[in-house]
A and B are shown apart, each in its own frame.
Chain A
């Protein structure tokens, strides 16, 4: 098996061809023969893109600025500001020293890490099995998988199942019910099916078992799609709050997103909801709420740039050719 060298399949062929073609085209003419946009058109495109970018970035800037502002400044600004009146990290300090959020952050990181690794392992093994035509019962299993993509079991049956297998109030209840995403398995399967069959034949001639082919040949060739699917799983686990709400009765086990929900969303209802006795504490400042949002999205933002380069290859190859 040692002489089986991971070889990159021809998955990049279209990209390479396109690059060559672009290099060779006449100046001012696109590959398909259309004229390249002139200065005015490019300006218009630039303006449209700038507006779109601003539409995304301005709210984000507002969230950061609000999280760093003082109460006085926010009151003057009506609760949301695009520029802070200084650099006040009081909201972050109070959140992170409270104990609830830091614990929830650790829970989220743990569940996301373990869940993503397990999901990737199980999904890729399942996809590999389903991608090989000779696998036992691979067609019925594929049909069941597709069925689960179209129909969900429903809340109560799922809850009862989790209860019956003894997962209530366990961290595993946040991972196992969503361990396999049918969509992700299908994307992985499509990618694996594009790996040239000759490579498998050559490996078999060298005496490699299915497990060796999977671990030494398929996985190294599939880093791009695994990165993308891993990101999908990670974002899914990170953002998930509903399973925790249903299955965890011990709220010290709650992940960050569920804690964040009580800070950000439910307080929006304070004006309509019952506030009870006259001793209720004030709702958290908008700065506190925005700081929670930043803390919640920061880890995913950190991971994203490292995986972005795999997106085009990982997604388009698997999806389009599948």
Chain B
């Protein structure tokens, strides 16, 4: 047993700081704010390098409905002759160790896991992947960091003092990815530019993104088949009309409620409230401080009071199942869930997403666009001698839809993990589990709109997202850094969430909100907003 070295002590200190202050933000979709991506020579030093050039695959498959940077490409079928986006072996024959999180049951190991084994064979290096349950990832990451046991590539957990941790631990990829340098890795170059900001610290590029953006934005789903059976077209022009419709279809005695849970975000979208932070030209405006917040609380409270959602919504929510099995007409969820609702769907099942009118009518509401990337991963500083190999591996894992590599990464081995129905891959029972090895949180391709066998539904999704995006609101503080926010935002998020729950469920009054919000603004919010506004200007962002 040897004594701790100075380096080990520094890592342990970082890890303890991570354990004490990080993690709380991890539920915010990765990258809520605790980094310093656009700091141009600020506290972390260094000029900002140009963002990686965005260039979709030149010879890639042509979508049935072309999207853009924000709108996903729509494919009705998988290309019958998948494009080969990687022509040379990515790996160098040596193992590549990976630490990632997973929301799925842990998979078998190769060679029993044929999908994983197939990926190893195709990449040319053995991927030794640690898949950690997402709920425990922060703890695992912190202890692994402290013990200097981080592998070659790892998903970065939300930790406090992120810039210091990243710069001490992760490899600076700027020279390999900035500007046109990324074109050496064409699949990585097909990742939209804004997603790369998730991995920018001190102006330099350290992180690999998993792009999400519009496709992981929250919407309100509706059961079109159930509404149609009642002779309802499923559109409304204001909250009052929506509320009246919900009361009309609500049937607690029959075990069918208007909604699976309180559609809080949908109501806030109707009111046009900021998506966390809104830059108004001078300072940042917080959603907690706007007057519409009390209106949103009152509307949610009235929803609960009228009993319009499943009574178990607060205690043991199982909203996906309730929605799928017809126990609720409306269900808040993200666009990414669209495909899941079709799996195992019974005959006649149909659904769509709700458009967002203004709360008082006479206009449009505003969807909140989700984070551009689901967090970020990095390459270990100690693996610098293999950086090109590791980026080639990342390039393979980021293969876009329509390529052979996408099938390898997402589906596994043909004939074993998936079979082809026409040109569409259909996972076998084993393959569906085998392919969930968590590499999509290391780096990922842009999410497509692909619903094999459900062409009309894919068109419906495309129509809805095109209708919502022009009015959608972005979080203006995304990937901006504020010391005050790093220290106090997570706690405020918890406290305001609890207060909102109390008010909505009738344990506290709507009037209790403003004093709490004013106090927070005085204690922390104002400073937070000022710091974020300065960071916004420093980053050269414009509205």
Contact = CB atoms under 8 A, between A and B. Distances in A.
Contacts of A98: 108, 433
B289 interface: no
A271 B333 contact: yes
A267 B104 contact: yes
A230 to B, nearest CB: 29
A89 B447 CA distance: 37
Interface in A270-288: 270-284
Interface in B1-40: 1-2, 4, 8, 12, 15-16, 19, 27, 29-30
A277 B445 CA distance: 9
Nearest to B418: A279
A245 B136 contact: yes
Contacts of A266: 102-105, 133-135
Contact of A276 (B139, B320, B440): B440
B130 interface: yes
A249 B100 CA distance: 11
Given A79-B321, A245-B136, A271-B333, A100 B106 contact: yes
A274 B216 contact: yes
Is chain B's interface secondary structure helix, strand, loop, or mixed overall? mixed
Interface stretch (B334-342, B350-358, B508-516): B334-342
Nearest to B131: A251
A210 to B, nearest CB: 31
A275 B135 contact: no
A155 interface: yes
Interface stretch (A3-11, A31-39, A110-118, A256-264): A256-264
B104 A262 contact: yes
A158 B5 CA distance: 16
Contacts of B108: 98-100
Interface stretch (B43-51, B143-151, B194-202, B280-288): B143-151
A313 B186 CA distance: 72
B447 A159 contact: no
Interface string B130-164: 11111110011011001101000000000000000
Contacts of B448: 277-278
Contact of A278 (B102, B325, B339, B435): B339
Most-contacted residue by chain B among A79, A249, A267 (CB, 10 A): A249
A211 B451 CA distance: 72
A192 to B, nearest CB: 32
B105 A262 contact: yes
Contact of B105 (A154, A165, A279, A284): A284
Contact of B16 (A156, A168, A263, A265): A156
A269 interface: yes
B380 interface: no
Contact of B103 (A100, A159, A270): A270
B449 interface: yes
A157 B142 CA distance: 12
Nearest to A275: B336
B131 A168 contact: no
A283 to B, nearest CB: 8
B329 interface: no
A308 interface: no
Interface in B311-334: 317-322, 324-325, 327, 333-334
Interface in B177-194: none
Nearest to A159: B143
B109 A252 contact: yes
Interface in B252-300: 255
A245 B433 CA distance: 21
A274 B370 CA distance: 11
B104 A278 contact: no
Contacts of A269: 103, 134-135
Contacts of A249: 130, 149
B382 to A, nearest CB: 16
A24 to B, nearest CB: 52
A128 interface: no
B8 A276 contact: no
Contact of A280 (B109, B212, B436, B441): B436
B82 interface: no
B507 interface: no
B460 to A, nearest CB: 14
B319 A271 contact: yes
B456 to A, nearest CB: 16
Given A160-B8, A265-B135, A282 B343 contact: yes
Contacts of B107: 100
Nearest to B143: A159
A164 interface: yes
Contacts of A21: none
Given A270-B103, A281-B104, A156 B143 contact: yes
A62 to B, nearest CB: 12
B432 A78 contact: no
Contacts of B447: 276-278
B340 A280 contact: yes
A242 B136 CA distance: 9
A163 interface: yes
B540 interface: no
A79 B12 CA distance: 44
A267 B106 CA distance: 11
Interface string A228-259: 00000000000000100110010110100011
A2 interface: no
A246 B320 contact: no
B186 to A, nearest CB: 19
A78 B317 CA distance: 11
A148 interface: no
A75 interface: yes
B22 to A, nearest CB: 13
A259 B1 CA distance: 31
B91 interface: no
Contacts of A270: 103, 320
Interface of A: 71, 75-76, 78-79, 94, 98-100, 154-157, 159-160, 163-165, 168, 242, 245-246, 249, 251-252, 254, 258-259, 261-263, 265-267, 269-284
Given A155-B139, A245-B133, 6 more contacts: A245-B139, A262-B104, A271-B319, A271-B320, A278-B449, A282-B432
14 contacts: A78-B322, A79-B318, A79-B321, A100-B105, A154-B16, A159-B143, A245-B140, A251-B106, A266-B104, A274-B103, A274-B374, A277-B445, A280-B339, A282-B343
Interface of B: 1-2, 4, 8, 12, 15-16, 19, 27, 29-30, 102-109, 112, 130-136, 139-140, 142-143, 146-147, 149, 210, 212, 216, 255, 317-322, 324-325, 327, 333-334, 336-340, 343-344, 374, 410-411, 425, 427, 429, 432-433, 435-436, 440-441, 444-445, 447-451
Closest 6 CB pairs of A and B: A281-B432, A278-B339, A159-B143, A273-B103, A75-B325, A163-B147
